[in-house]
Structure formats: structure tokens, C-alpha cells
Amino acid sequence: MQANNSSHTVYVAGMTANLLLSYLDQQGLAVSELREKLTRLASLPRMPITTWWALLEEIYQLQPIVGLGLAIGRCTRPHHVGVLGYLSMYCETVGQALMRFHRFQPLLHNLSPTMVRQEAETIILSWQPRTSTQLSNEVVVASLMTVLSHLTGQVDVSACLLEWPHPAPVDPIPYQQCFACPIVFNAKTVSIHIPLAIMALPINSRDPFLVSLLEQQAEALMMALPNQDVLLKTIQQHILAILQDEVPELKTVSVRMGVSERSLYRYLSARGLRYKTVLNNLRYELAKNYLKNMRLSLPEIALMLGFSEQSAFSRAFKEWSGQSPMHYRRAS
């Protein structure tokens, strides 16, 4: 598959190929043909996600070791993710860097977005495993923790729990060395639990002026991204219309669109999405806007979002955000 700017292509930023080049350098692997391919891809704005997965698999064929993605991820430095990395470098704290990463994540990929929520004294970053491969998931989690350590200058920045949707490896040592925390294998999602205290850690290279400039650049780059998938936008529009009268089930949406449930399911699966995820993401964004309107009561908001009662909305909102609707409203 060739890299392109088509709006329906699931992509990853082309510059991520530079991370793989850094790993090849570290390992002293010549492989000139692969290097030429990576150099070419690194010059492109985006590459199909399937190309990224294939590149990781190609390196695995060269080095079939347990935790290869972890080893690649530990080579990550901020410059490997372009504006996102530099923006993180100049933030005040780890928490600010993570929030900006979440906000500008489409500059890196257009897979299902990472969900961020707080539970007690922990921040949890999670995403659906169906949107990626094991090797790619390894690269992402190792990259995240490596960059946090690099930004703060503290080698002991670590998660307190990792939920991992893949089976336990024959040799767990690479995982234990990389994360130094309990790991739950065969979990439902990829979830990294980070102590809340880490969010307040200062970043060594913080610079408010540069953050402001880079945010403007990131906003401009976001506007230049390919338009959102037209069919996905259509699904969201039908959900919005159905919310006015009833619970927007997949069957109801498919009938309104004139397609079969199976076709709609296949369409979403091909993009690493589930209907429930699309529905909840839309509900969450609507809920945050509604809660800022003090004229709307919680029962009214629940009704507008298609919940049968306020308690169901409150439970769902807490699951999405880690806080109750009232707490979010007061904070806003």
C-alpha cells in the first residue's frame, strides 16, 4: 500500500520511521534496502498504518526476540515525534505534556484516540488493542515511559500498573525490566496506570514562550490534516439525530443509513473501531459541552444524550473522565 493523503486511510506520521532508523543504528544493522525505505517514508507526512506494522515485522524477522517493540521504544526521543515532542519538551510539567499529547494526537496517528481518566491517585491512559499489533503496542508504551524519563531527567519514572491485552511471553524479563511494575496479561485494553504525583514533575527544558509558539504550529498542522472519514462523520450525524428520540443502537443507525449491520460493523472494524467506542466518544464530547451550560440540569443532559436516567449518565461520565458530572461542572 502506498502512502497517501486519502481521508479514509488509517495513518501514522511518516517521521516515526526515524525511530526505526535510530534502532538500526543502535544495533549496528546495515540492511541498506530497509534503511532506504525508512528514509523515504520519513520524508512523507504520513504512511498507512499497515506499512508501519509491516516495517516492525520486517525488523522482527531480522531480530526475532521477545519484547522487540520495547527495545525499539526505548530508543525514542522527543524529536522522533516532531512538533508533539518539542511541545512536550517545553511544557511546565509532565501533566501538561500529556494533555497536549492527547489534544494533538492526530498529528501522530488517526487510530482510536487514547482515553485519559483519573482514578483515585492514578492517571490511566488506555486504548483498544484491536487498533494495533503487539509489536506496535510495545513500541508505544515503551516510548511513552522513555520520553517521560527523558523529559524529567529521572530514570525511575515508571507506571504503577500495566494492563496488557496480549498473552504473557515465554520470557517475561524484558517486560519486567522495561516497566518495573505489576503487569496484567490478557487484559481487555492497553492501559498504563501512572501515579498522579508524576503529573506534577517539572520538565527540565520548560519554556512558556516556546510552548505558545509550538501550540500555534500544532494547531495549523491539525487544520492541514486530511478531512475526517466522510462515512464516519455520517455515522456520527445519524447518532446525533437518533439521540433526540431514542437510544442510538447500531441496528437503528444501519437502518437509517440504508446499509446492513454487518457492513457497518466491518467498516468500523477495518478502522480499529467499535460502534460503542464511536457512540461513547461522541456522547462524552457532547456531555462536556452541555455541562458548561449552567441552564441545563443533569437529568436534562442525561435525556439529551439518550440515557434512560441520570444515574446511568453519571456512571458513564465517571467512567469516561474519572470524575462525576457535578465535579466536572464545578471545575469547568
Higher pLDDT, 284 or 247: 284
User: Using CA atoms, how far apart are residues 124 and 144, in angstroms rounded to an integer?
Assistant: 13
Mean pLDDT of 114-139: 84
Residue 275, all three cell numbers: 460502534
32 has pLDDT over 50 = yes
The cell for 214 is: 509550538
Specify the pLDDT at position 292: 86
d(C-alpha 113, C-alpha 105), whole Å: 7
For the chain, how far is it from start to end, CA to CA, in angstroms?
A: 45
Beta bridge partners of 48: 11
CB 160 within 8 A of CB 122: yes
DSSP annotation of 14: G
Nearest one of 181, 97, 187 to 137, comparing CA atoms: 187
The residue to which cell 496506570 is assigned: 193
Distance, C-alpha 82 to centroid of its chain? 16
How confident is the model over 178-189, as a mean pLDDT? 90
CB-based contacts of 90, cutoff 8 Å, min separation 6: 203, 205, 206, 207, 208, 210, 211, 214
Q: What is the pTM of this model?
A: 0.69
Checking 249-257 for CB contacts under 8 A at 24+ apart, the result is 250/275
- CA dist 69 and 143 (Å) reads 9
Looking at residue 90, its pLDDT comes to: 93
More confident site: 181 or 157: 181
Residue 27's pLDDT is what?
95
**pLDDT-derived band at 272, boundaries 50, 70, 90:** low
User: 230-331, what's its fold?
Assistant: Arc Repressor Mutant, subunit A (1.10.10)
Q: In this predicted model, what pLDDT tens digit does every residue of 45-54 receive, in sequence order?
A: 889 889 999 9
**What value, to the nearest 5°, has the Cα angle with vertex 216 and ends 220 and 332?**
110
Provide the residue ranges of all domains of the chain, joining segments of one domain with +.
Answer: 66-223, 230-331
* Whole-number Cα distances in Å, 169 to 108, 173, 175, 189, 276: 28, 9, 9, 17, 30
Rounded to 5 degrees, φ, ψ at 4 are: -155, 175
DSSP-based three-state secondary structure for 198: helix
Share of the chain above pLDDT 90, in %: 37
Averaged pLDDT for residues 278-288 = 87
Q: Kindly report the number of other CB atoms within 10 A of residue 159's CB atom.
A: 26
Which pLDDT score is estimated for 130? 63
Pull the grid cell for residue 98. 500529556
| pLDDT at position 222 | 79
Which pLDDT band holds residue 154 (cuts at 50, 70, 90)? confident
- Furthest-apart CA atoms within the chain: distance in Å: 65
Question: pLDDT tens digit string along 290-315?
Answer: 898 888 899 989 888 888 889 999 99
Bridge-partner residues for 163, per DSSP? 184, 191
In this prediction, residue 2 has a pLDDT band, given cuts at 50, 70 and 90, of very low
Dig out the grid coordinates for 104 from the structure.
494533538
Instruction: Report the candidate in 240, 309, 298, 236 with the shortest Cα–Cα distance to residue 268.
Output: 236
Mean pLDDT of the chain: 86
pLDDT in tens, 232-258: 778 888 888 888 677 788 998 888 888
How far is residue 239's CA from residue 250's CA, in Å, rounded to a whole number? 9
CA distances from 139 to 71, 153, 278 (A): 8, 21, 25
The answer for residues whose C-beta is within 8 angstroms of residue 282's C-beta and 6 or more apart is 236, 239, 240
Work out the average pLDDT over 102-107: 86
